[in-house]
Amino acid sequence: MQLIGMLDSPFVRRVAISFDLQTIPFEHKALSVFRNFDEFSTINPTVKAPTLVLDDGSFLIDSTLILEYGDALAGTSLLPAAPAERAKALRAIGSALAACEKTAQIVYEYSLRPQEKQHQPWLDRVQQQLLAALRLLEAETDAFDIDALDQAAVTAAVTWSFIQLNVPSIVTPDNFPRLAAWTARAEALPVFQRYPLS
C-alpha cells in the first residue's frame, strides 16, 4: 500500500504514525496537493491528502476512514473498546480534527487569498473556533498515556505540532501547557521521529 501526502499535513501524519504503531506495512509517497497537483490527480482525481492506494490499485481518502480500514487490516484498534472510554477518545479526536481544519482555513486565507480580499470578521470567527477546540482538547490531555498510545493521543500531538508550525502567534504554549507538554513527550518517541513534521 502507498500513503500519499506530505507529512506537514496532520491528517497524513496521524495515519503514518498509527499504521506504524499497528505494524501495518505501507510506503509513504510525499506528494503535495499544491506543488504536485497534476501527478497527485493521476492517483486520486480529488487530489485529497491523505490518499491510501490499496494493493489492488483502488484508493481510500479521509484520514478517519483510512484509519478505520487500518483497524480492519491489523485486527486491533487504537481506540478503546469500552463505550465510555471510546466516547472520551472520540471527543478528543473530534476537537483535534476541528483544530486542524480551522488552522488550515487560516493558513489558506493568508497564503492563497489576496490581502485585499481577506475578510477579517471571518478570520476572527475561525480563530475563535480554533481556540475553543483547543480548550476542549486541553481538558482531555491528562488521559493520554505515553506507554499506551491511542488514537486520541496521537492525533492530539500531531495537531499541536501542525498548529505550532503554522500559527504560533495565535496559539501559544502558555495558553495550552498540558497539550504542549504532551506533544513534546510524544514527539520525542521514535515512532513520531520516523515521520517528522516536514
Which of 74, 102, 125 terminates a domain? The answer is 74
What is the number of domains present in the chain? 2
Q: Quick check: is 30 in a domain?
A: yes
In this structure, the answer to whether residues 113 and 181 fall within a common structural domain is yes
Cα separation, 179 vs 22, whole angstroms: 24
Q: Do 128 and 169 have their domain in common? A: yes
By DSSP bridging, strand 59-61 and strand 51-53 are antiparallel
Instruction: Tell me the pLDDT tens digit for each residue of 76-126.
Output: 999 999 999 999 999 999 999 999 999 999 998 888 777 778 788 989 999
36: domain CATH number is 3.40.30.10
Do 21 and 105 fall into the same domain?
Answer: no
- Tell whether 143 is covered by a domain: yes
CA dihedral 59, 62, 63, 64 (to 10 degrees): -110
CA distance 136 to 42: 39
Task: Return the CATH number at 177.
Answer: 1.20.1050.10
37 and 122, same structural domain? no
Beta strands in 2-112 (DSSP E): 2-4, 27-29, 51-53, 59-61
179 is a domain residue: yes
Where does a domain end: 11, 45, 74?
A: 74
- Could you read off the pLDDT of 18-47 as tens digits, one per residue? 999 999 999 999 999 999 999 999 999 999
Look at residue 110 in the predicted model and tell me its pLDDT: 85
Percentage above 70 pLDDT, the chain? 100
Distance CA 140, CA 52 (A): 29
* Same domain assignment for residues 100 and 186: yes
Beta-bridge partners for 60: 52
Are 92 and 61 found together in one domain? no
198, part of any domain: no
Q: Is the same domain home to 68 and 165?
A: no
What's the pLDDT at 155? Answer: 98
41 & 115 share domain: no
Count helices and strands (H / E) in the chain: 8, 4
How much is the pTM? Answer: 0.95
One domain, residues 26 and 89 = no
59 shares its domain with 133 = no
Residue 23 is part of which domain span?
Answer: 2-74
Does 96 share its domain with 170? yes
Q: What is the pLDDT of residues 142-189, one digit of tens each?
A: 999 999 999 999 999 999 999 999 999 999 999 999 999 999 999 999
